[in-house]
Amino acid sequence: MKVAFLVAPEGVEQVELTDPWQAVRDAGGTPELVSTKSGRIQAFDHLDKADTFPVDTTVTDTSVDAYAGLVLPGGVANPDFLRMDGRAVAFVKSFFDAGRPVAAICHAPWTLVEADVLRGRTLTSWPSLETDIRNAGGMWVDEQVHLCREGPNTLITSRKPADLKAFVDAVVTEFPVTAGQG
């Protein structure tokens, strides 16, 4: 089954894209890079430019029906760009409406705040998002990875790149990407 990786044209933290991507592939799933524009996206290693990656499809050319779940990599700029794009926000919200699993790491929950899907949910993130998450009706916890099943879907969140192993393990376990799931 396919898994959508939603990123802005620039600003994604490269390792938060590539590690989960490889894990989904290794588990037998098909990762697909979705963005707000076609072409290539520019990844970053913190604030330094890193590699570029080809976009598979745009949010206007696909829908939740094509995917088993959604991964939202972080980076400071990436989720900030995404939350300013109404089509990207609607794409994210559609996964919650459909009851599909969503995973978000680092600053990625900013897009979830904008999609208004955090009321009554418990999650973690980069610590600077705590107030935003609370203001959006969520409960913030300081944990390496947190699985929330308090809503219509499973929400997997992690704080930072150092938490990637736990994040990736949760994504592979919770997403229906392997044979016999989904």
- Please report the DSSP string for 11-63 in residue order: EEEHHHHHHHHHHHHHTT-EEEEEESSSSEEEEEETTEEEEEEE--EETTS--
CATH number assigned to the domain comprising residue 121: 3.40.50.880
pLDDT in single tens digits along all 182 residues of the chain: 899 999 999 999 999 999 999 999 999 999 999 999 999 999 999 999 999 999 999 999 999 999 999 999 999 999 999 999 999 999 999 999 999 999 999 999 999 999 999 999 999 999 999 999 999 999 999 999 999 999 889 999 999 999 999 999 999 999 987 544 44
Is 77 part of a structural domain of the chain? yes
Q: Catalytic residue positions?
A: 106-107
3-state SS, residue 83: helix
Is 15 part of a structural domain of the chain? yes
The whole-model pTM stands at 0.96
Is 119 part of a structural domain of the chain? yes
Which residue range forms the structural domain that includes residue 40?
2-174
Q: How far apart are the first and last CA of the chain?
A: 7
Q: Which of 114, 116, 46, 123 is nearest to 81 (CA)?
A: 114
Structural domain total, the chain: 1
Is 65 part of a structural domain of the chain? yes
Is 182 part of a structural domain of the chain? no
